[in-house]
Protein backbone atom coordinates (compact mmCIF):
# COMPACT_ATOMS: atom_id res chain seq x y z
CA UNK A 1 0.00 0.00 0.00
CA UNK A 2 1.38 3.45 -0.90
CA UNK A 3 2.40 5.83 1.87
CA UNK A 4 0.65 8.77 0.25
CA UNK A 5 -2.02 9.31 -2.40
CA UNK A 6 -3.31 12.62 -3.75
CA UNK A 7 -5.99 13.72 -6.20
CA UNK A 8 -4.98 16.86 -8.07
CA UNK A 9 -6.45 19.34 -10.54
CA UNK A 10 -4.01 21.44 -12.56
CA UNK A 11 -5.11 24.73 -14.11
CA UNK A 12 -3.42 26.95 -16.70
CA UNK A 13 -2.18 26.22 -20.20
CA UNK A 14 -2.01 22.49 -19.54
CA UNK A 15 -3.71 20.97 -22.57
CA UNK A 16 -2.13 20.69 -25.99
CA UNK A 17 1.34 20.91 -24.41
CA UNK A 18 1.92 17.16 -23.76
CA UNK A 19 1.06 17.44 -20.06
CA UNK A 20 -0.60 14.00 -19.86
CA UNK A 21 2.28 12.20 -21.54
CA UNK A 22 4.86 14.11 -19.51
CA UNK A 23 2.99 13.35 -16.27
CA UNK A 24 2.87 9.62 -17.06
CA UNK A 25 6.57 9.65 -17.94
CA UNK A 26 7.54 11.42 -14.70
CA UNK A 27 5.28 9.19 -12.59
CA UNK A 28 6.79 6.05 -14.14
CA UNK A 29 10.29 7.40 -13.46
CA UNK A 30 9.38 7.97 -9.80
CA UNK A 31 7.66 4.58 -9.44
CA UNK A 32 4.22 6.08 -8.76
CA UNK A 33 0.87 4.49 -9.47
CA UNK A 34 -2.26 6.32 -10.56
CA UNK A 35 -3.63 8.03 -13.65
CA UNK A 36 -3.90 11.34 -15.51
CA UNK A 37 -6.51 12.77 -17.89
CA UNK A 38 -7.63 15.99 -19.53
CA UNK A 39 -10.94 17.52 -18.54
CA UNK A 40 -13.21 19.26 -21.03
CA UNK A 41 -12.99 22.47 -18.98
CA UNK A 42 -9.25 22.77 -19.81
CA UNK A 43 -7.81 21.37 -16.58
CA UNK A 44 -5.73 18.23 -16.08
CA UNK A 45 -6.80 15.78 -13.35
CA UNK A 46 -4.57 13.14 -11.80
CA UNK A 47 -4.26 10.67 -8.95
CA UNK A 48 -0.70 10.06 -7.75
CA UNK A 49 0.25 7.38 -5.21
CA UNK A 50 3.51 6.06 -3.83
CA UNK A 51 6.22 6.84 -1.33
CA UNK A 52 5.54 10.17 0.33
CA UNK A 53 8.81 11.75 -0.86
CA UNK A 54 8.17 10.63 -4.45
CA UNK A 55 4.61 12.01 -4.43
CA UNK A 56 5.96 15.33 -3.10
CA UNK A 57 8.58 15.37 -5.88
CA UNK A 58 5.84 14.77 -8.46
CA UNK A 59 3.71 17.56 -6.99
CA UNK A 60 6.65 19.94 -7.30
CA UNK A 61 7.11 18.87 -10.93
CA UNK A 62 3.40 19.38 -11.65
CA UNK A 63 3.60 22.95 -10.36
CA UNK A 64 5.80 23.80 -13.35
CA UNK A 65 4.87 21.08 -15.87
CA UNK A 66 6.53 20.34 -19.20
CA UNK A 67 8.37 23.12 -21.10
CA UNK A 68 5.37 24.47 -23.07
CA UNK A 69 2.95 24.45 -20.14
CA UNK A 70 1.96 27.32 -17.87
CA UNK A 71 0.63 26.15 -14.53
CA UNK A 72 -1.52 28.71 -12.71
CA UNK A 73 -2.83 26.57 -9.86
CA UNK A 74 -2.66 23.02 -8.48
CA UNK A 75 -5.51 21.93 -6.17
CA UNK A 76 -4.54 18.96 -3.98
CA UNK A 77 -6.68 16.62 -1.87
CA UNK A 78 -6.02 13.27 -0.22
CA UNK A 79 -7.03 10.27 -2.33
CA UNK A 80 -7.76 6.58 -1.94
CA UNK A 81 -5.11 4.47 -3.69
CA UNK A 82 -7.05 1.19 -3.46
CA UNK A 83 -6.91 -0.78 -6.69
CA UNK A 84 -4.23 1.31 -8.38
CA UNK A 85 -1.45 -0.46 -10.26
CA UNK A 86 0.88 1.10 -12.78
CA UNK A 87 0.28 4.56 -14.19
CA UNK A 88 -2.13 5.22 -17.05
CA UNK A 89 -3.18 8.04 -19.34
CA UNK A 90 -6.96 8.10 -19.36
CA UNK A 91 -9.16 9.62 -22.08
CA UNK A 92 -10.61 13.11 -21.75
CA UNK A 93 -13.91 13.42 -19.91
Q: Say which of 13, 20, 37, 63 is annotated catalytic.
A: 20
Q: Say which of 13, 38, 43, 63 is annotated catalytic.
A: 38
**Backbone phi, psi, residue 33, to 5°:** -110, 165
Known catalytic membership, residue 37:
no
Nearest to 78 by CA among 24, 3, 6: 6
14: enclosing H helix or E strand = none
Nearest to 92 by CA among 24, 33, 44: 44
Known catalytic membership, residue 20:
yes
Which residues are the active-site residues? Answer: 20, 38
Amino acid sequence: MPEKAVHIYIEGRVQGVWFRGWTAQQADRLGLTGWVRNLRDGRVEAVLAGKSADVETMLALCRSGPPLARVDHVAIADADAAGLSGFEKRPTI
